Structure formats: C-alpha cells, structure tokens
Amino acid sequence: MTETKKEIIVTGKEKPRIGVYVCHCGINIAGVVDVVKLKDYALTLPDVVLAREYKFMCSDNGQSMIKEDIEAGLINRVVVAACSPRMHEPTFRLVCKEAGLNQFLFEQANIREHATWVNMYDPEGAYEIAKDHIRMSVAKARKLLPLEVQKVKVDPSCLIIGGGISGMNSALDLADEGYKVYLVERTPTIGGHMAQLDKTFPTMDCSACILTPKMVDVGRKEKIEIMTYSEVVDVSGYVGNFEVTIMKKPHYVDQEKCTACGSCAENCPITCGNEFDLGMGTRKAIYIPFPQAVPGEYTIDMEKCIKCGICAREDVCEPGAIKYDDKPEYVTVKVGTIIVATGWDLYDPTELGQYGYGRYPNVITGLQMERLLSSFGPVLGKPVRPSDLEAPHSIAFLQCVGSRNFREGGHSYCSRVCCMYATKQARQYKEKHPEAEVYIFYMDIRAFGKGYEEFYESAAENFGISYVRGRIAEVREGENHNIVIRAEDTLLQTPIELEVDLFVLSCGLEAKADADQVASLLSIQRSADGFFMEAHPKLKPVDTLTDGIFVAGVAQGPKDIPDAVAQAKGAASSAAALMAQGEVEIEPYYSVVIEHLCSGCRTCQSLCPFGAIDFDEFKKIAVVNPALCKGCGTCVSACPSGAMVQNHFANFQLNSIINVAVKQPTVENGGK
C-alpha cells in the first residue's frame, strides 16, 4: 500500500472537477458498446474536466491512472463507469483515499450489469443505457459531499447458531484463538445430523468415533458456552456489537442437581417415538436423545408427559432435580460476530406418491436406513424391513429423490451427498449380507470428492452392487409387502420390472423449515434454493451481506462433511479476522436531523426499525445514533417537515439523478 498523500480538502463549495473513467472490462463492456464514444460523451457533461477509458480500471494500472489525476490536482470527484459497485466500490474508494481525496467523493456507474450484459444483443440500446448511467452518476457526483468514516469496536465474542459438525468446528477454532463463543443449539444435545450417521464415506470411519471426541472437546473448552435446548429469539445491534436474546427452553429438570443417573427414564411409564431414530426407536417422556449426548442433560418432553409424578418421587430421583414448574429463561449476550450453522432438513418424499413412501411399510428414507445400519440404532446395526422385521434379501436404492427435480415441490439443485451415502449404505449391507441383491437406480453418479470415485468403483467391483441407469417411474406393493419397481434401464433402452424386499429413497437435503424466520431475525438473505446466501459465490463464500454475520455448513447449501467442516473453519477464520482488528469501519450513511426544521413529532422514532432514534427532551427534537442507524431511509421519507437527511443519499443528491434521468433541465430542489 502506498503512503497516504497530502489530503485534498473538498468542502463541497468549490467548483466540482469530475474525472470520468470508462472501463472496457475486457470485452464485457467494450465488446458491446463503443467505450471511446462513451468517454467522449462524458466530456460533454457539466463539470467533467477529463475522461479516460482503459481495459481494466480495477487493475493496478487503471487504479494509478485515477490516482495520478487526483494527485496532480486535476480532479476533485471521481466517476468510474464499470461493473456493479458491490465488488469494486471499495477498490476505487481506497484509490481516492490513498490519493488524498475523501472516499465518498466517488460514484460508480454500473454499465456492465445494467447495460451491456442484459442488452448483449442490442448494442445501440446498451449504449443509450450506458450513457444514461454515466449522466446520472455525474449528476450525483456534482452534489457529493465529503463524509467521515465511523469506527466501532468489535466485541471479541461470537454467537454460533447450530451445534452440528459445522458449528462445533467453528466454535473450537474460535475458542482456540481466544475468543468467547456462545454455541446455541435448539435440541437437547450438540452433534447435529452427523451423530445420526453410522459410518462416513469414503473412508468408512465410524461417525460416532470421530464425532463424539469433538463433542466432548466442545463441552470441555472454557471459552465455549454451550446453550443447548435454546433458541435465539432476538438479534439487535450491528457488526461488532450485536445484542442477542436467547431463550433457554425449560428442561423441567434442575441440571445443577441432576446426576444423570437415568433412574427417572427407567421408571417413566410413557414410551414414545425417538426423534433421533426417526421414530423407529423409542424413548421415554423423560430422556436424553442418545447415550453420547453432550451435555448429557435429561429433559422432560411435556407434550408426552402425563405428570404422573413418578420421576419426581424421592426414591426415583434422590437429588430432587425434577422441576415441573420450570419456566423458559431469557439470556442476553453481547457478541461481535455471528456464525449461522443451522444445518438442514431431509426432503420429505411423501408428496411423491409414485414412490409409495408413507403408504407402503417397506419404503424408507436414506436417513432411516442410516439409523437401521447404526450400531447404536434401533436394530443395533442389523437392518430389517419394517413390515416383518426380517433382513431383506434384495434392496433397491433410488437416487435424486427431491433433488434435481424441476417440478413444483422438488429442488432443482443436486444434494451432493446422496450418491455417496447410498453407495456406502449398499456396501455396508453387502458387507453383512454378501448374498443380498443390492441395486442403485441413478441418473448420474456424482463421485466428485477426494477418494469418492475409487469408493464407487470398489462398491461395484468388490461388493457387486448393481448400478442401474434409470430413474424409477413408479412402485407398487406386491405379495408379502414386497415392492415392485417399474423403471427404464436406459442403457438397455427397455422398461424393466423388479421386485425387491426393501426400497430406500435417497432423499436430498433442503433448507431448514424455519430458515425464513432465521433470515429475517438476522437480516440475512436466502438464495432461490432456500439456503442462506453468501456475499459472493466465489470470493466471499462464508460471508453474508450483513456485516459481521457469517454462514457455515449446509445452512449455505448442500455439503458433505469435509466441505462443511472446511467452510466452518473458513467462517471461524473470517469472524476471527474481524475480531482481531478490534474495530471496524462502518459507512457513514446514517441520517442527520436538521435541528431547526424538526418539530419533535416523534414519527421517525416510532418507525425506526433499529431503535436508532432518541428524543432530546430538552431541545424537543429527534436525535439519531449513528452507530445504530443502518441508513434505511425510513425516517427520511416519513418526516413531515423534511428535517431528516440521509448522508450520501440526501434529497438534493437523489433529485439531481432523477432530473437528468428524465432528461429535463436541472431543477435545484430544496433540502440543501
């Protein structure tokens, strides 16, 4: 970085001298419109003193062109006509800053996304639109005022939402770096979906064996405060200074007193389906989800409990830990950063009537198969079919259930894990039953990860799993609850019919059912597939568009365990980078009250979604807290006396754009 040059003082009163820089963006812009003509056009605009074009304005050479012009005193405002400001506005602002010009005297005209990309086949139209954008940006640049960047402290603490393998990895990394971590998990234990898996592909590691030590680690770390059976109910504040309210759901068991002896569960008369085993196993109304749960805290499921009082008896619970009148507890913590690792739900195949899930007992999902295969699952790792509890002789797996399906109710994306988990489950079954017939019906096998293709090859060669290329069209129930499959073997180009004992649907992953609520709670975006959206698909894969909030694991999109862990560590690293700086710059786009115009009606105060407006009882006027204001502009549009001005987006600046956009002579508006 070059040394910051002597500052060029611009107060907004001297005559604007604007430099316009038109970027070719390779052929993205120059391939559609004539950039030299655009440059010449810019020179005809008021207050434009120079205009240049260059192949890549964002390159080192392009940046120094701007810098040299500023340093030579030729210009005091900069307009770059190039791409979307999302990527390069910070780049060019830094150029201005380094050259000694206030960085808010810069304006970017987006002639790539808004003109040449969308009108690739209409060069003349694109040229006209590009001209409009340049004219509007120049108009705004004439009215720009220098602003000062705000700096706020970043609290060295992180809230991680979701205690699966992603959240745990982020938590461990951040704790090792010395930051305080609040790990909030909705269910009574951390571990997430990985705890439900039996083995992991392609190495056939026992999932529990590699997961439970991590869970114990998380539990032991002093810097990590695990809040299981808890939910985030409110988030306020801004980057570096979030205030988070967490509801700890009542366990109805005093965890301080409970010794986890298990006597209560032994004596509880209520038996119900266990969520952890997807309803295929049982638990009591007072329970821990599975033996290795961390923390091993007992919880009463009040929906199932009949309040018989047995567990509370002194001879059952000696320490007297049962607390039927337990209430939810609300905790407020202050954190600097947030990592969202809320994970995924399994696609529900009930809607796909042709596969008979929910109608025929011997149709199960891949995750149910996983529990059947698990050594601590409902059948201790010896899969049986639900109708008669016999070990199936033949099993068919169907891939892409709910995934790669462009119909309503399906997901168009590939879930990335199903090919491998089906292959793994098929292989596990063949290991135990070499005589069994196992078929996998697929459209494409996607074995893209490290060691995956080899795993696929070995499943076919060494274990004799039959791969059939064809998506199953429909199934019906044959004799003895067997499943009769109809499909086309597309490689033989012939319809086939096949009777199997057990039919496994390799269901895909989908966004959590309440992802929309989480998104609005945190003000983060979701992409079209329902998962949380990253700030940039390639270069900012763990950031969200809200500063200080990061995303990890399947919450961002389907991933296998290695990818989820990698992203979790990336999110932890990004969060740590922010916290290590100790303070962060926030854009000064806050609202300002013009005191002599404010009538003190308090309209703005009631409307502000961020609680950023206070009322000065002495002066009887509104006061904006710049640190809390997000610059949404609600108060500006609501103020009946025009007393609110939003920095960088003031009425006179926006009006100047509108005036030239509609090609009318400039009408100077009030609000100055």
* Residues at the site binding other proteins, with contacts judged by CB under 8 A: 354, 400, 404-407, 410, 443-444, 469-474, 486-490, 493-496
Contacts of 640 (CB under 8 A, 6+ apart): 599, 601, 603
Choose between 352 and 542: whose C-beta lies nearer to other proteins: 352
Choose between 4 and 354: whose C-beta lies nearer to other proteins: 354
Determine the Cα–Cα distance for residues 241 and 544; give it in Å rounded to an integer: 16
In angstroms, give the least distance from the CB of 493 to other proteins: 5
The answer to whether the beta carbons of residues 602 and 620 sit under 8 Å apart is no
In angstroms, give the least distance from the CB of 488 to other proteins: 3
Choose between 485 and 579: whose C-beta lies nearer to other proteins: 485
In angstroms, give the least distance from the CB of 475 to other proteins: 10
- Name the burial class of residue 304, with classes exposed (0-12), middle (13-18) and buried (19+) by CB atoms within 10 angstroms of its CB: middle
In angstroms, give the least distance from the CB of 400 to other proteins: 7
Choose between 186 and 446: whose C-beta lies nearer to other proteins: 446
The answer to whether the beta carbons of residues 515 and 342 sit under 8 Å apart is yes
Neighbour count for residue 549 (Cβ, 10 Å): 24
Choose between 412 and 599: whose C-beta lies nearer to other proteins: 412
Segments of 543-657 assigned E as strands: 549-551, 583-586, 591-593, 613-616, 621-624, 644-646
**Which stretch of DSSP H or E encloses residue 394?**
strand 394-401
**In one letter, which amino acid is 294?**
V
Q: Residue 399: which of 342, 456, 450 has the closest Cα?
A: 456
What does the block give as tokens for 321?
A: 């830990």
In angstroms, give the least distance from the CB of 66 to other proteins: 45
What does the block give as tokens for 418?
A: 């199903």
In angstroms, give the least distance from the CB of 149 to other proteins: 49
Burial 123-152 (b: 16+ CB within 10 A, else e): eeebbebbbbbbbbbbbbbbbbebbeebeb
Distances (CA, A) of 168 to 299, 331, 540, 568, 573: 22, 21, 21, 8, 14
The answer to whether the beta carbons of residues 505 and 534 sit under 8 Å apart is no
Choose between 148 and 474: whose C-beta lies nearer to other proteins: 474
The answer to whether the beta carbons of residues 316 and 559 sit under 8 Å apart is no
- Alpha-carbon torsion 216, 217, 220, 226, what sign? negative
Choose between 390 and 474: whose C-beta lies nearer to other proteins: 474
Determine the Cα–Cα distance for residues 522 and 525; give it in Å rounded to an integer: 9
In angstroms, give the least distance from the CB of 566 to other proteins: 29
Q: Which residues pair with 183 in a beta bridge?
A: 160, 226
The answer to whether the beta carbons of residues 436 and 430 sit under 8 Å apart is yes
Choose between 401 and 621: whose C-beta lies nearer to other proteins: 401
In angstroms, give the least distance from the CB of 239 to other proteins: 42
Residue 85 preceded by cis peptide, ω within 30: no
Choose between 2 and 494: whose C-beta lies nearer to other proteins: 494
In angstroms, give the least distance from the CB of 362 to other proteins: 20
Q: At 28, give phi and psi (nearest 5°).
A: -60, -40
Choose between 141 and 485: whose C-beta lies nearer to other proteins: 485
In angstroms, give the least distance from the CB of 466 to other proteins: 16
Neighbour count for residue 1 (Cβ, 10 Å): 5
Choose between 426 and 472: whose C-beta lies nearer to other proteins: 472
| Chain-centroid distance, C-alpha 542 | 8
Choose between 32 and 487: whose C-beta lies nearer to other proteins: 487
Determine the Cα–Cα distance for residues 575 and 240; give it in Å rounded to an integer: 10
Choose between 329 and 444: whose C-beta lies nearer to other proteins: 444
In angstroms, give the least distance from the CB of 484 to other proteins: 12
In angstroms, give the least distance from the CB of 393 to other proteins: 23
The answer to whether the beta carbons of residues 312 and 322 sit under 8 Å apart is yes
Determine the Cα–Cα distance for residues 154 and 586; give it in Å rounded to an integer: 11
Half-sphere exposure of 353 (CA within 13 A, CB side): 0
Choose between 37 and 486: whose C-beta lies nearer to other proteins: 486
Choose between 199 and 404: whose C-beta lies nearer to other proteins: 404
What does the block give as tokens for 647?
A: 């920095």
In angstroms, give the least distance from the CB of 473 to other proteins: 3
Determine the Cα–Cα distance for residues 547 and 239; give it in Å rounded to an integer: 6
In angstroms, give the least distance from the CB of 560 to other proteins: 22
In angstroms, give the least distance from the CB of 469 to other proteins: 8
Choose between 473 and 577: whose C-beta lies nearer to other proteins: 473
The answer to whether the beta carbons of residues 139 and 656 sit under 8 Å apart is yes
In angstroms, give the least distance from the CB of 345 to other proteins: 20
The answer to whether the beta carbons of residues 230 and 249 sit under 8 Å apart is yes
Q: Which three-class secondary structure string do you get for 465-497?
A: CEEEECCCCEEEECHHHCEEEEEEECCCCEEEE
